[in-house]
Amino acid sequence: MEKAFHYYMPVKILFDYGVSQKMASYIAGENVLIISDPFLYQNGVAQRIGESLIGKTVGYFSDIEPNPSCESVDAAAAAARALKADCVIGLGGGSSMDVAKIVACLTRDEGSIYDYYSGGTKTFSERKTMLICVPTTAGTGSEVTNVGVFTNKKAGIKMPLVTDRFWADYAVIDPELTYSLPPAVTASTGMDAFCHAIEAYWNKESQPMCDMLAMGAMQLILRFIKRAYDDPNDLEARGAMIKASMIAGVAFSQTRTTGIHALSFPLTTEYHASHGTACSITLPAFIRLCREGAAEKLQALSAYLGYADAGALADAVEALMESMGMPTRLGQLGVREENLEHITKVGLGAAIIQLTPAVMNEQTVYALLKGIL
Amino acid sequence: MEKAFHYYMPVKILFDYGVSQKMASYIAGENVLIISDPFLYQNGVAQRIGESLIGKTVGYFSDIEPNPSCESVDAAAAAARALKADCVIGLGGGSSMDVAKIVACLTRDEGSIYDYYSGGTKTFSERKTMLICVPTTAGTGSEVTNVGVFTNKKAGIKMPLVTDRFWADYAVIDPELTYSLPPAVTASTGMDAFCHAIEAYWNKESQPMCDMLAMGAMQLILRFIKRAYDDPNDLEARGAMIKASMIAGVAFSQTRTTGIHALSFPLTTEYHASHGTACSITLPAFIRLCREGAAEKLQALSAYLGYADAGALADAVEALMESMGMPTRLGQLGVREENLEHITKVGLGAAIIQLTPAVMNEQTVYALLKGIL
**Mean pLDDT of the region B111-119:** 91
- Contact between A24 and A57 under an 8 Å Cβ cutoff? The reply is no
Return the DSSP state at B93. Answer: S
Per-residue pLDDT of A183-241, as tens digits, reads 999 999 999 999 999 999 999 999 999 999 999 999 999 999 999 999 999 999 999 99
Angstroms from B276 CA to nearest CA on chain A: 23
Instruction: Find, among B243, B202, B235, the residue nearest to B219 by Cα.
Output: B243
**Any idea how long chain B is?**
373
Nearest beta carbon to residue B15 from set A5, A19, A235: A5
Which chain B residues are closer than 8 Å to A220 by Cβ? 208
CB-CB neighbours of A38 under 10 Å = 12
**Mean pLDDT of the region A146-168:** 90
Q: Which residues contact B49 (CB under 8 A, 6 or more apart)?
A: B20, B21, B23, B34, B89, B91, B134
Go through A330-353 and write b for each residue having 16 or more CB atoms within 10 A of its CB, e for each that does not.
beebebeeebbeebbebbbebebb
Q: What pLDDT is recorded for position B153?
A: 83
- State which residue of chain B sits closest to A169, comparing Cα positions: B8
**Whole-angstrom Cα distance, residue A143 to residue A302?**
28
Q: What pLDDT is recorded for position B159?
A: 82
**Taking CB atoms and an 8 Å cut-off, how many pairs form between chains A and B?**
96
Amino acid letter, A80: A
All structural domains of chain A = 12-177 (3.40.50.1970), 180-371 (1.20.1090.10)
CA distances from B85 to B32, B242, B364 (A): 5, 28, 50
- Contact between A133 and A142 under an 8 Å Cβ cutoff? The reply is yes
B62 three-class SS:
coil
**Whole-angstrom Cα distance, residue B184 to residue A298?**
36
Verify whether the Cβ–Cβ distance A6 to B14 is below 8 Å: yes
Residue A134, phi then psi, degrees to nearest 5:
-130, 100
Q: Which residues contact A231 (CB under 8 A, 6 or more apart)?
A: A237
Question: Environment class of residue A78 by beta-carbon count within 10 Å: exposed (0-12), middle (13-18) or buried (19+)?
Answer: middle
Share of chain B above pLDDT 70, in %: 100
Verify whether the Cβ–Cβ distance A213 to B211 is below 8 Å: no
Label residue B74 by pLDDT band (50, 70, 90): very high
**Mean pLDDT of the region A86-104:** 97
**Mean pLDDT of the region A139-167:** 91
Label residue A154 by pLDDT band (50, 70, 90): confident
- Contact between A373 and A330 under an 8 Å Cβ cutoff? The reply is yes
Q: Beta-strand (E) ranges in chain A? A: 5-7, 12-15, 31-35, 57-61, 87-92, 130-135, 147-152, 157-162, 170-173
Per-residue pLDDT of B300-323, as tens digits, reads 999 999 999 999 999 999 999 999
Q: What pLDDT is recorded for position A269?
A: 86
Nearest beta carbon to residue A13 from set B8, B212, B215: B8
Q: What pLDDT is recorded for position A339?
A: 98
Q: What pLDDT is recorded for position A80?
A: 98
Which chain A residues are closer than 8 Å to B220 by Cβ? 208
**Whole-angstrom Cα distance, residue B334 to residue B353?**
23
Q: What pLDDT is recorded for position A259?
A: 98
Nearest beta carbon to residue A15 from set B5, B9, B236: B5
Instruction: Find, among B351, B349, B347, the residue nearest to B368 by Cα.
Output: B347
Instruction: Tell me the H-state helices in chain B.
Output: 38-42, 45-52, 70-83, 94-106, 183-202, 208-230, 235-255, 259-271, 275-280, 283-293, 295-305, 310-323, 340-348, 362-371
**Whole-angstrom Cα distance, residue A69 to residue B128?**
38
Asked if the model's pLDDT at residue A119 lies above 90, the reply is no
CA distances from A289 to A215, A294, A298, A324 (A): 19, 9, 11, 24
Asked if the model's pLDDT at residue A1 lies above 80, the reply is no
Q: Residue A241: how many CA atoms within 13 Å on its side-chain side?
A: 36
B309 three-class SS:
coil
Q: Which residues contact B332 (CB under 8 A, 6 or more apart)?
A: none
Q: Which residues contact A338 (CB under 8 A, 6 or more apart)?
A: none
Q: What pLDDT is recorded for position B104?
A: 98
Q: Residue A213: how many CA atoms within 13 Å on its side-chain side?
A: 32
Verify whether the Cβ–Cβ distance B17 to A1 is below 8 Å: yes
Q: What pLDDT is recorded for position B188?
A: 98
Per-residue pLDDT of B205-214, as tens digits, reads 999 999 999 9
3-state secondary structure B106-131: HCCCCCCHHHCCCCCCCCCCCCCCEE
Listing DSSP states for A276-290 in one string gives HHHHHTTHHHHHHHH
- Contact between A172 and A136 under an 8 Å Cβ cutoff? The reply is no
**Mean pLDDT of the region B339-361:** 97
- Contact between B355 and B255 under an 8 Å Cβ cutoff? The reply is yes
CB-CB neighbours of A154 under 10 Å = 11
Nearest beta carbon to residue B216 from set A15, A212, A240: A212
The whole-angstrom distance between residue A174's C-alpha and the CA centroid of its chain comes to 16
A243 three-class SS:
helix
Asked if the model's pLDDT at residue A130 lies above 90, the reply is yes
**Mean pLDDT of the region B190-199:** 98
Verify whether the Cβ–Cβ distance A4 to B15 is below 8 Å: yes
B95 three-class SS:
helix
**Whole-angstrom Cα distance, residue A23 to residue A129?**
16
Q: What pLDDT is recorded for position B124?
A: 96
Q: What pLDDT is recorded for position A2?
A: 82
The whole-angstrom distance between residue A305's C-alpha and the CA centroid of its chain comes to 23
Which chain B residues are closer than 8 Å to A17 by Cβ? 1-2, 4
Q: What pLDDT is recorded for position A152?
A: 87
Amino acid letter, B98: D
Asked if the model's pLDDT at residue B296 lies above 80, the reply is yes
Side by side, which strands form the sheet with A87-92?
A57-61, A31-35, A87-92, A130-135, A170-173, A12-15, B5-7
Q: What pLDDT is recorded for position B118?
A: 77
**Mean pLDDT of the region A329-337:** 98
Instruction: Find, among B260, B298, B293, B251, the residue nearest to B279 by Cα.
Output: B260
Angstroms from B215 CA to nearest CA on chain A: 8
Angstroms from B174 CA to nearest CA on chain A: 10
A365 three-class SS:
helix
Which chain B residues are closer than 8 Å to A7 by Cβ? 12-13, 15
Amino acid letter, B271: Y
- State which residue of chain A sits closest to B8, comparing Cα positions: A12
Nearest beta carbon to residue A208 from set B7, B12, B243: B243
- State which residue of chain B sits closest to A11, comparing Cα positions: B8
Nearest beta carbon to residue A209 from set B17, B175, B247: B247
Residue A324, phi then psi, degrees to nearest 5:
-105, 15
Verify whether the Cβ–Cβ distance A2 to B240 is below 8 Å: yes
**Any idea how long chain A is?**
373
Q: What pLDDT is recorded for position A113?
A: 96
- Contact between B63 and B39 under an 8 Å Cβ cutoff? The reply is no
Q: Could you tell me what percentage of chain A is helix, strand and coil, using 3-state DSSP and rounding each to the nearest 5?
A: 55, 10, 30
Q: Which residues contact B367 (CB under 8 A, 6 or more apart)?
A: none
Instruction: Find, among B235, B194, B201, the residue nearest to B324 by Cα.
Output: B194
Angstroms from A284 CA to nearest CA on chain B: 25
Listing DSSP states for A331-349 in one string gives GGGT--GGGHHHHHHHHHT
